[in-house]
Every structure is written in structure tokens, then in C-alpha cells.
Amino acid sequence: MIFSTALAERLVYRGDFALGTLMRFLPIITQIFLWFAVFDAIGSADGNDATEIGGFGFRDIVAYYLLTMIARAFSSMPGLASGIARQIRDGEIKRYLIQPIDLISFLLLNRVAHKIAYYAVAIAPFAFVFYLCRGYFVDGWPEPHVLAAFVGSLIMGFLIGFFMEAAIGMIGFWFLEVTSLLFVFMLFSFFLSGHMFPLTLLPDGVGQVVRFLPFKYLAYFPAAVFLNKIPDDQLPLEMAVEAAWLTFFILVCRFAYSRGLERYSGYGG
């Protein structure tokens, strides 16, 4: 019921939405030109002797940006943390205390429905853009096991995104205003998730720290898996680490919720 309502809610403005999704790819055009100019300046951007930086050639980088769009579509949770914080502030969260629904499961189910609705509509523009850009995927489709890992990393990326943001929203139990914190978090997550550039381009010291953080699963990691940038022998370990981070955030989120409820004093109506 929750699921189908949320699904219907999202399908109302599908035309406008499909156009919006298509427009979202426009900045990639400038990225293509920027990176071509960079690769052009250091060697050849195309052909057999194409230059690579951080393990990425020019075509890889473009493919990378396209794939991070998919990863971000899974892992981004617009309004989740601020929504939770608002519900705490307004006292609206009371209804989860008196009704037999669990807040976290409710929100999660809601997001799953929203994401499915999103993909039901977004798949057409996405497919169109990827078809146009198929030339940038040098190796074509990855091996079945890599593809499976890619799908797995996307699903875990979605869950990490969800529990990470929900946990931040829970901070609202302690501080009534979390907007500032969210700002900082968004900035960090944008930069450290690999949304701006592949994380392997970072200088060694910083790169190691950043690749240890959980942010990379929101954008960099799924794209790197798809592009075969994670060696086969490391793939299971990397997936295990991702699962560990996911478990960590589920626990943090649950813990924060139960402790928060103890503190909660029900402001508002």
C-alpha cells in the first residue's frame, strides 16, 4: 500500500520528468570537451596509444561520468535527512510512536518505491544517452560476474546512501537544526564520492584516505566496477568492505533512532 501510493505519486509528471532527466546529461558535454582538451595536451586522446591518467583513458573518463550518473541516481536521497529532522522538530514523528509502523522501514520502503518509479520513467532517457555514447565504452559489456557485482554495488550503494542520510537526519533528536551539517555533508559527499572525477586521480596520500571512506560507494565504486578498474582478485574483498560499511550504517542508524526516541520530548502540536 505504502509502496503503490509512493509509486503513483512519482508517475504523475512523467513527461516533464523525462525531459528533466535528459537535460541533466548536458553538463557531461562540457566534461567531454574539457577532458579531451586535457588528454590532447598530454598525448593522444584516442587510438591504440591513447594516454591514461590514474588508470583512465579519455573514453574511460567519459564512460565513468555516465556511469556515475546511474550510481548517483541510486544513492542520492534528496530531502531524506532534512525530512527526518523536520519531522522531529515539528513533532510529526509522534505518529510513528503511536502507530504500528517503524519509521525507518517506512521511509526505506517509500524510497524504494520512489527509485523504482524514477527508473521506470528515467530508463528511456538514460538508454537514449547511453546508446548515443556507446562509443565511449571501449570494452563493451563487462563479464557476467562483473555485471553482477555492478548491480550488487548499486543496490548496496542505494542502501548506504539511505542509512547514511537517515543517520544524519537522526541527529535532529539532539540538535533541532541540522541544515548546516547537511550542507557540509553534501559538499563532502559530492567531492569524495568521485562525482567530480575518478578518485584514482587523487594524489597518493590523500587518495588512500579518500578510498578508505564510505563515500566512494555512492558514485566512484559502481562505475569503477563496471569499467573493470577493480582487478578480479580484489573484487570480492571490495564488495565485502562495502557490505561491512552498509552494516555499520544500519547499526548506527538504528542505534541513533532508539537513543533519540528516549531523548525525544515531542515538541509541537
Partner 1 sequence: MTFRTNFILDCVSSIGWTLMNVGFYLIIFQFTPTIGEGTGWDQDRFFLFLATTWFINSLVQAFFMPNAEEFSELIRTGGLDFALLKPIDTQFLISFRKVSWSSLSNFAAGLVIAAVALYRLAHHETDPLVPSALSVVLYVLFCGCGVVIMYSLMICLSATSVWLGRNQTLYNFWFYITNFSRYPMEIYNRGWGTTLYGLFTFVIPVLVVVNVPARILAQPVNPETSDQWWLVGWALVATLVSVAGSRWVFRRALGSYRSASS
Question: Distances in Å between the alpha carbon of 269 and those of 85, 96, 133, 266?
Answer: 16, 15, 53, 8
List 147, 187, 209, 240, residue binding partner 1 (CB under 8 A): 187
Number of Cβ atoms within 10 Å of the Cβ of 119: 13
Phi–psi pair at 52, nearest 5 degrees: -125, 140
> How many of the chain's residues bind partner 1 (CB under 8 A)?
31
- Chain-centre distance of CA 97, in angstroms? 30
* 46 neighbors 58 (Cβ within 8 angstroms): yes
- Name which of 40 and 143 has its Cβ closer to partner 1: 40
Can residue 17 be called a binding residue for partner 1 (CB under 8 A)? Answer: no
- Name which of 54 and 142 has its Cβ closer to partner 1: 54
Can residue 210 be called a binding residue for partner 1 (CB under 8 A)? Answer: no
Can residue 46 be called a binding residue for partner 1 (CB under 8 A)? Answer: no
Can residue 208 be called a binding residue for partner 1 (CB under 8 A)? Answer: no
List 175, 183, 212, 255, residue binding partner 1 (CB under 8 A): 183
Can residue 175 be called a binding residue for partner 1 (CB under 8 A)? Answer: no
- Name which of 37 and 123 has its Cβ closer to partner 1: 37
List 8, 11, 27, 46, residue binding partner 1 (CB under 8 A): 27
List 74, 96, 150, 197, residue binding partner 1 (CB under 8 A): 197
Q: How far is the CB of 209 from partner 1 (least distance, A)?
A: 14
Question: Distances in Å between the alpha carbon of 261 and those of 93, 212, 268?
Answer: 10, 32, 15
Can residue 133 be called a binding residue for partner 1 (CB under 8 A)? Answer: no
* 200 neighbors 223 (Cβ within 8 angstroms): no
**Measured CA angle at 237 (ends 212, 191), to 5 deg:** 30
Can residue 40 be called a binding residue for partner 1 (CB under 8 A)? Answer: yes
* 136 neighbors 59 (Cβ within 8 angstroms): yes
Report the b/e string of 62-75 with b at 16+ CB within 10 A. Answer: bbbbbbbbbbbbbb
User: Which chain residues interact with partner 1 by CB under 8 A?
Assistant: 19-20, 23-24, 26-27, 29-30, 33-34, 36-42, 53-54, 179-180, 183-184, 187, 190-191, 196-197, 201-203
